[in-house]
Amino acid sequence: MLTLGPLVFAQPLYLTALAILPVIYWLLRVTPPAPRRMRFPATRLLMDLLAREETPARTPWWLLVLRLLLAAMVIVALARPLVNPSTDFPGSGPIILVVDNGWASAADWPARRTFMDGVVDRAERQGRRILVMATAHAPSGEPPQVSALLRPAEARAHLEALSPQPWATDRAAALAALDHLAVDGAAHAIWVADGLGDGAATELARRLQQLGSAEVVVANDDGPLLVKPPSLDGSALTVTVERLRATSERTVTVRALAADGRLLARQPALLGEEDLAGQALITLPAELRNEVARLDVEGHVSAGATALLDDRWRRRPVGLVSATAQTAAQPLLADTHYVQRALEPFSELRTGGILDLLDGGIAVLILPDVGQLNADETAAIEAFVAGGGVLVRFAGPLMAVHPDDLVPVRLRLGDRTLSGALSWTEPMPLAPFEPGTPFADLPVPPDVLIGRQVLAEPSLDLSDKTWARLLDGTPLVTAERRGGETGGWVVLVHVTAGPDWSNLPLSGLFVEMLRRMVALSGGLPAGAAAADAGALEPVATLDGFARLETPPPTVAPLLPEDLAQPTIGPAHPPGYYGSEDARRAVNLGSTIPALQPMDAMPGGVAVSGLRQTRELNLMPWLMAAALALMIADLVISLVLRRSMPLPLRMRTGAALAVVLAAWPGIDGARADDDFALTAANDTYLAYVITGDAAVDETSRAGLESLSLVLRSRTAVETAGALGVDIATDELAFFPLLYWPVTDAQAPLSGQTIDRLNAYLSFGGTIVFDTRDQGIGGGIGGGIGSINALRQLTAGLDIPELTPVPPEHVLTKAFYLMQDFPGRYAGGEVWVETTEEHINDGVSSVIIGSNDWAAAWATDAAGQPIYAVVPGGERQREMAYRFGVNLVMYALTGNYKADQVHVPAILERLGQ
């Protein structure tokens, strides 16, 4: 090894080859470059032409430098230069690599792998064998074992197969495995530890040290994270995240995932500079919250940082039977109001009738004093309770009079009044809750006083059924389990749910008690039958990287009594146990009380961080650079030999400039804007440009003069005529589109049809003029222009048509008229059949054949251009009047239609 500052040559002997560089230089200088080869017809004339001067051709100096550099690079690369090289391991015996592969090592496993690979690389360079030991139990349950003496390649394969396990390490077992180990020479042990302490950590380090020397490598961040199973806090899931060491302030992101992997929520949890634990509050709508199946920490994959959720974390819908209709009017007097206010923040509360609620699927039914239940309701509630539901009843005057069977204890008829005008007794406070009841640890506020209650008949099991008592021992809350072990509870609170009988509903205790009672159902898996049947079979288990997988065959069923505190290990990895329907989550987080750091290491054992500067091998980079230079040299040689033309770039540039200059976008957009401004600033009568110059000119002249007529006779102020290209121009500006039909028009493209359909559906009107005096046989015929029209309008949304009826608005929009002559008289005019109230009753299509534009058209002097047939000024005047009516109709819609009723209205008013 040759060391030059941070640079080390692993094979320095190769550097001696640098001495041959001058030889290469001399050879390159002497050998001239190969001549260009050129095919030349006049070669005969060149034959034996003797040159007058002969200078030896030389390789250009820069090419010489390039080639020498190339040779030098290859030589230096062969010497294997290393940056930041690692030092040698002490000792001469094997390297012992001890790997903690418990759950805590999963999060930074890639970094551990990199480190271990580095160890193997160094061992290889020193020619030392390797022993590998993983400290966690294998999935098959085997305790940690030391591998055989491995060559580096074998060790790499061995490490490749190693993966973190979802349980903790067992260093005591590892220690036992080391007991029988004998090594030749002084071994060097490297322990890649996860930083978690157990009793045997120090002992293990000491044992390793005895084999030669030892060093411990621990991740120098704040260690593995542990996610505790969340607690249900009302509507929120409170997730606690713990860490091993508090090194700095840190924010971790807790994710809530659904069973199918959907991300439901992300919430940061802040771990202060001193804090070992932080909390994330995940608030979700009830439906989404019930879908949460898994909580983990973003970017920190390990079984410990993952909490699986099961039905226990589901919010149970609570059904509240609303008593009577009058409750809504006086909420403060209604019993349900207090229950509602107490439960709303924590549960999904539904109100309604008993049967409706039970049908909708609820976990808890709260029944205030609603009077007698009928047989159906009683049966339904009994079935509900037998199926695991919880019934919470409140007493009241009605129950006192009509006791029924749906109570945990037999009740005396009537109630007991502790305070009243004719009573000696005072309202009574509660006795402290007895252990063993659901309310066991709740504090009893002294100001809760019970004024009236219903009384239970004394019986042998009364005290077993009593969850709360008054100070004098009379039961206040009694409960009974119905339907055996799997059944639900019937709970009776002996006072009303309102403040009539006591001030309990006004106290915070009421809220707590209700929550406990609701939680009764939460504590029960929906199908708790599995728990009864005995051991819980594994359903799905987590692997070391917190992936849910099919349980390996080595996983044993979990006994129900172990469910609370299971021993996580190869036999019981974290995961789901039970059956598919009723599964219980077993979490690593709940079995670990707190994360313990490793004890201090014995003296002489070096402790270092995991992330060390990795040595960098420069050989591949240098080789790649040499290859690039070689390619460059090849290209240069070719160019020198054959004068490769390189004018391509210039040509490409010129072509690009041409393309840019010809780009049509900018001018087109400006033209569009001009058109839109013109058309939108005034009302124009628009005609379709057909492409036939004579027809277009007639249309323009006709609409111009019609526009004049409109201005002089009506309040309509049109600015004139505007030709429209239906394929490209925006049509939305025009209320009316005059479309003379010619035979020569090409069928419409699909895009144009879409535009026209949009125009028609948004209130536009198109006037088709076949200009053939109806000789095509009208709409029903199939000759000439009608045929052209039919082909032209194929694809348009043309409604059902009818000849203009006598009462149509077109006949009276401005002038009263019954026929609509243009240049020709007598052609029928067709409009939409149904005068519906869409589009204000204006027909979207008007079809005629009288060539109106020709009748309207005048030249510059105001003289008509075309003679009308059969003739007469009267016909031309009628044509103008039709034009006025048409524009009025298109602009004003059906308001003239209302005039139909005016005579009748006037007549009625006159009476």
Partner 1 sequence: MLKRRRAEALAAAMPPLLVAAERVASTVAQGVHGRRRVGPGDSFWQFRPYQPGDSTQRIDWRQTGKGQNVFIREHEWDAAQTAWLWRDGSASMDYSSATALPTKRERAEILLLALASLLSRAGERVALVGGGDPPAAGRVSLGRIAMTLERQPLADGLPPLADLPRSAELVLISDFLGPLPDIDRVVRFFAQRALHGHLLQVLDPAEIRLPFTGRVRFIGPEAEGETLVPRVESIRQAYLERLAAQQDGLAAIARSAGWSYGVHTTDRPPQTALLSLYTALGAPPRIQDRAGSPLC
Q: Please give the C-alpha separations between residue 580 and each of 317, 427, 576, 585, in angstroms, as whole numbers.
A: 22, 52, 9, 12
Tell me how far, at minimum, the Cβ of 665 lies from partner 1, in Å.
Answer: 34
For residues 410 and 641, which CB has a smaller minimum distance to partner 1 in the complex? 641
Please report whether residue 49 would count as binding partner 1 according to CB under 8 A: yes
Please report whether residue 646 would count as binding partner 1 according to CB under 8 A: no
Please report whether residue 45 would count as binding partner 1 according to CB under 8 A: yes
Region binding partner 1 by CB under 8 A among candidate stretches 13-21, 38-46, 337-345, 597-605: 38-46
Residue 191 to residue 100: CA distance in whole angstroms: 8
Residue 811 to residue 819: CA distance in whole angstroms: 8
Tell me how far, at minimum, the Cβ of 55 lies from partner 1, in Å.
Answer: 7
Please report whether residue 33 would count as binding partner 1 according to CB under 8 A: yes
* Site size with partner 1, rule: CB under 8 A: 24
Residue 361 to residue 694: CA distance in whole angstroms: 79
Please report whether residue 39 would count as binding partner 1 according to CB under 8 A: yes
Please report whether residue 655 would count as binding partner 1 according to CB under 8 A: no
Tell me how far, at minimum, the Cβ of 53 lies from partner 1, in Å.
Answer: 5
Using an 8 Å Cβ cutoff, are 333 and 324 in contact? no
Here's the x/- map for partner 1, 397-426, by CB under 8 A: it reads as ------------------------------
For residues 42 and 661, which CB has a smaller minimum distance to partner 1 in the complex? 42
Using DSSP bridges, classify how beta strands 317-321 and 250-258 pair: parallel, antiparallel or unpaired: unpaired
Backbone angles phi, psi at 349, to 5 degrees: -105, 130
Residues 262-281 that bind partner 1 (CB under 8 A): none
Residue 585 to residue 539: CA distance in whole angstroms: 10
Tell me how far, at minimum, the Cβ of 652 lies from partner 1, in Å.
Answer: 16
Amino acid at 515: R
Spell out the residues 6+ positions from residue 203 whose beta carbon is closer than 8 angstroms to its own: 171, 175
Tell me how far, at minimum, the Cβ of 844 lies from partner 1, in Å.
Answer: 57
Residue 744 to residue 757: CA distance in whole angstroms: 22
Please report whether residue 330 would count as binding partner 1 according to CB under 8 A: no
Tell me how far, at minimum, the Cβ of 64 lies from partner 1, in Å.
Answer: 17
**Which of residues 36, 180, 651, 837 is near partner 1 by CB under 8 A?**
36
Using an 8 Å Cβ cutoff, are 504 and 510 in contact? yes
For residues 146 and 636, which CB has a smaller minimum distance to partner 1 in the complex? 636
For residues 39 and 908, which CB has a smaller minimum distance to partner 1 in the complex? 39
Please report whether residue 53 would count as binding partner 1 according to CB under 8 A: yes
**Which of residues 4, 5, 52, 260 is near partner 1 by CB under 8 A?**
52
Please report whether residue 650 would count as binding partner 1 according to CB under 8 A: no
**Which of residues 38, 161, 422, 902 is near partner 1 by CB under 8 A?**
38
Instruction: Give the helix/strand (H/E) hosting 400.
Output: helix 397-401
For residues 55 and 863, which CB has a smaller minimum distance to partner 1 in the complex? 55
Instruction: Give the helix/strand (H/E) hosting 46.
Output: helix 43-46
Please report whether residue 47 would count as binding partner 1 according to CB under 8 A: yes
Please report whether residue 908 would count as binding partner 1 according to CB under 8 A: no
Tell me how far, at minimum, the Cβ of 153 lies from partner 1, in Å.
Answer: 55
266 pairs with which residues across the strands? Answer: 255
Q: For the chain, what's the residue count?
A: 911
Tell me how far, at minimum, the Cβ of 23 lies from partner 1, in Å.
Answer: 25
**Which of residues 44, 180, 837, 908 is near partner 1 by CB under 8 A?**
44
Tokens of 657: 């400039």
Query: Which of 321, 403, 317 has the alpha carbon at shortest distance from 354?
Result: 321
Region binding partner 1 by CB under 8 A among candidate stretches 41-49, 143-151, 174-182, 314-322: 41-49
Please report whether residue 603 would count as binding partner 1 according to CB under 8 A: no
Q: Which residues of 733-750 are buried (b: 16+ CB within 10 A; e: fewer)?
A: bbbbbbbbbbeebeebee
**Which of residues 55, 565, 712, 863 is near partner 1 by CB under 8 A?**
55
Please report whether residue 61 would count as binding partner 1 according to CB under 8 A: no
Tell me how far, at minimum, the Cβ of 705 lies from partner 1, in Å.
Answer: 55
Residue with tokens 């030249």: 859
Spell out the residues 6+ positions from residue 511 whose beta carbon is closer than 8 angstroms to its own: 342
Tell me how far, at minimum, the Cβ of 52 lies from partner 1, in Å.
Answer: 5
**Which of residues 4, 5, 19, 40 is near partner 1 by CB under 8 A?**
40
Region binding partner 1 by CB under 8 A among candidate stretches 39-47, 423-431, 822-830, 835-843: 39-47
Nearest 10 degrees: Cα torsion 575, 580, 581, 584: -10
For residues 47 and 375, which CB has a smaller minimum distance to partner 1 in the complex? 47
For residues 45 and 161, which CB has a smaller minimum distance to partner 1 in the complex? 45
For residues 55 and 712, which CB has a smaller minimum distance to partner 1 in the complex? 55
Residue 403 to residue 307: CA distance in whole angstroms: 47
For residues 41 and 910, which CB has a smaller minimum distance to partner 1 in the complex? 41
Tell me how far, at minimum, the Cβ of 35 lies from partner 1, in Å.
Answer: 4
Half-sphere exposure for 103 (CA within 13 Å, toward CB): 26
Please report whether residue 54 would count as binding partner 1 according to CB under 8 A: yes
Backbone angles phi, psi at 857, to 5 degrees: -60, 135
Strand order in the sheet with 765-769: 718-724, 683-688, 736-740, 765-769, 845-848, 830-832, 801-803
Residue 538 to residue 558: CA distance in whole angstroms: 7
For residues 33 and 557, which CB has a smaller minimum distance to partner 1 in the complex? 33
Tell me how far, at minimum, the Cβ of 642 lies from partner 1, in Å.
Answer: 11
Using an 8 Å Cβ cutoff, are 478 and 489 in contact? no
Using an 8 Å Cβ cutoff, are 886 and 853 in contact? no
Query: DSSP letters along 750-775, please?
Result: HHHHHHHHHHHHTT-EEEEE--STTT
Please report whether residue 32 would count as binding partner 1 according to CB under 8 A: yes
For residues 53 and 405, which CB has a smaller minimum distance to partner 1 in the complex? 53
Tell me how far, at minimum, the Cβ of 634 lies from partner 1, in Å.
Answer: 19
For residues 36 and 837, which CB has a smaller minimum distance to partner 1 in the complex? 36
Q: Please give the C-alpha separations between residue 163 and each of 216, 552, 681, in angstroms, as whole numbers.
A: 19, 15, 76
Region binding partner 1 by CB under 8 A among candidate stretches 32-40, 457-465, 557-565, 621-629: 32-40
For residues 51 and 460, which CB has a smaller minimum distance to partner 1 in the complex? 51
Please report whether residue 48 would count as binding partner 1 according to CB under 8 A: yes
Using an 8 Å Cβ cutoff, are 131 and 211 in contact? no
- Which residues of this protein are in contact with partner 1, per CB under 8 A? 32-33, 35-55, 57
